[in-house]
Amino acid sequence: MFYINRVFGTVSFFNYDFLSPAMISLDSEKKQKIFNELAGLQQRDYCFSSGHILGSMCTVPHPLAREVYLQFLETNLGDLELCPGTKEIESRYIAFISKLLHAPKTSTGQIVSGGTEGNITAMWIAKQLSGKKEILLPTSAHFSFQKIASLMGMKLVEIPVTDDYVMDVTHLKKKIRKTTAAVVGLAGSTELGTIDPIPEISEICAHEHVFFHVDAAFGGFVIPFLKELHYKIPDFDFRLKGVSSISIDSHKMGYAAIPLGTLMVRKKQWLGSISVDSPYISSEKQTGLLGTRSGAPVAAAYAVAQYLGHEGYKQMVRSCMDVTCYTQKRIEQLGLDLVMKPTMNVIGVKLKKPGIVVKKLSEQGWRVNKIERLSCIRLVLMPQITKQIIDEFIPVLQKTCVEVDEL
């Protein structure tokens, strides 16, 4: 029995002859029962297209990503020789990311499942190259570094942030030592979307010959376009000589399907430090954390990048910033204060009891995050959030804040 794939017309057929008819000829009653069970459970989920998720850094994948994902469901990039076509798609996607981040010819990329794996892989490389275990990172760094410390026995040394919530470089200078394996800077922090002074950090690291990883999981698909839109923000990419690696997530502002990120490293040979011999599969070496990994998110992200192009992403960032500005005004009109003027499409709203406000908003169907450390709630204005949605949300926020004495 053949299943005809209609995604790309009649381009491919999936052969299911190896299954007995009883296993594959879908009994419509049985199928319906399974679908009903799944749909019942899925109904409990919040979905991005409802517009009620205001606290996530993910979004509705582009419709093309949805289609292409299905087409590549059986591909395995863990065994590269088995799928040279999908491997080529991966190379082309890495080339696209490389151009976006102005990576030099000496560089290469490693596809990862997202920001966590990007950070783990970067610190793994730094540890292998230096033989050292100390990571200097701002207090605002993502919690994935806690996993890194635990997994690889590395030590985290926190660098305080300034009043603008970015890494205090004077402290960094004092903390770099012979035992430092890497410095981490944020280009789009998880909590507030701030950008550390990457050019200064880069200079220090170049001078001290220390590995410098830029976590641009969120900001990687925002900052290049903000710069073109004439926002005054620091440089963050490989044009800065001291930047050793950058992680960037496509499943955040790249409008692609989960799970997908890329870790770019300045020198190809660095990946050798995290490669192992791989007997039993067709490639001689395997690089990175994962073994079997799907080509579907890679193909989907590549298709989206081809379709949207540079201008498409720029337009999306422009529109997210427009909604961010609108949201900022509406919140300030309520009489609430922001933690800081937004750098990108992330807003922190100061509250005395953020946990209670988040709980009450959730009871009314709105998903927002609390950041107890900064006594605020965080709104992320992703592409699916429109001004109309904000117009719906603001009265709910106002009523909630009045009820809990925030206003």
Ligand X SMILES: Cc1ncc(COP(=O)(O)O)c(C=O)c1O
Which among 215, 55, 210, 213 is positioned nearest to 142, based on CA atoms? 215
Part of the chain binding ligand X (CB under 6 A), chosen from 21-29, 115-123, 164-172, 398-406: 115-123
Size of the site for ligand X (CB under 6 A): 14
Give dist(CA 192, CA 378) in Å, integer. 7
Residue 61 near ligand X by CB under 6 A: no
Part of the chain binding ligand X (CB under 6 A), chosen from 28-36, 210-218, 344-352, 373-381: 210-218
Residue nearer to ligand X on the CB measure, 360 or 378: 378
As beta bridge partners, residue 247 has: 215, 263
Residue 343 near ligand X by CB under 6 A: no
Cα angle 362-368-374, degrees, rounded to a multiple of 5:
125
Residue 217 near ligand X by CB under 6 A: yes
- Smallest separation (angstroms) from ligand X to the CB of 120: 9
Q: Applying CB under 6 A, which of residues 72, 218, 221, 270 lies at the interface with ligand X? A: 218
Q: Rg for the chain (alpha carbons), in Å?
A: 23
Structure tokens at 337: 């204060």
Residue 57 near ligand X by CB under 6 A: yes
Part of the chain binding ligand X (CB under 6 A), chosen from 3-11, 212-220, 310-318, 371-379: 212-220
In the shown chain, the binding pattern of residues 121 to 160 toward ligand X, with x for contact by CB under 6 A and - for none, equals: ---------------------x-x----------------
Give dist(CA 112, CA 251) in Å, integer. 11
Beta-carbon contacts of 44 under 8 Å, excluding residues fewer than 6 positions away, are none
Residue 108 near ligand X by CB under 6 A: no
Could you count the other beta carbons within 10 Å of the beta carbon of residue 185?
Answer: 33
Residue 116 near ligand X by CB under 6 A: yes
Instruction: Output the CA–CA distances (angstroms, integers) from residue 281 to 78, 295, 297, in the order listed.
Output: 9, 17, 22
End-to-end C-alpha distance for the chain, whole angstroms: 65
Residue 190 near ligand X by CB under 6 A: yes
Cα angle 275-102-324, degrees, rounded to a multiple of 5:
110
Q: Applying CB under 6 A, which of residues 55, 114, 348, 383 lies at the interface with ligand X? A: 114
Residue 196 near ligand X by CB under 6 A: no
Helices (H), 281-374: 296-334, 354-363
Q: Applying CB under 6 A, which of residues 79, 134, 237, 249 lies at the interface with ligand X? A: 249
The residue ranges of DSSP E strands in 129-269, in sequence order, are 134-138, 155-159, 180-186, 211-216, 245-249, 261-265
Angle, helix 144-152 to helix 115-130, in steps of 10 degrees: 40
Residue nearer to ligand X on the CB measure, 168 or 215: 215
- Smallest separation (angstroms) from ligand X to the CB of 102: 20
Residue 223 near ligand X by CB under 6 A: no
In the shown chain, the binding pattern of residues 157 to 186 toward ligand X, with x for contact by CB under 6 A and - for none, equals: -----------------------------x
- Smallest separation (angstroms) from ligand X to the CB of 216: 8
Element (H, E) at 350: strand 346-350
Residues binding ligand X (CB under 6 A) = 57, 114-116, 119, 142, 144, 186, 188, 190, 215, 217-218, 249
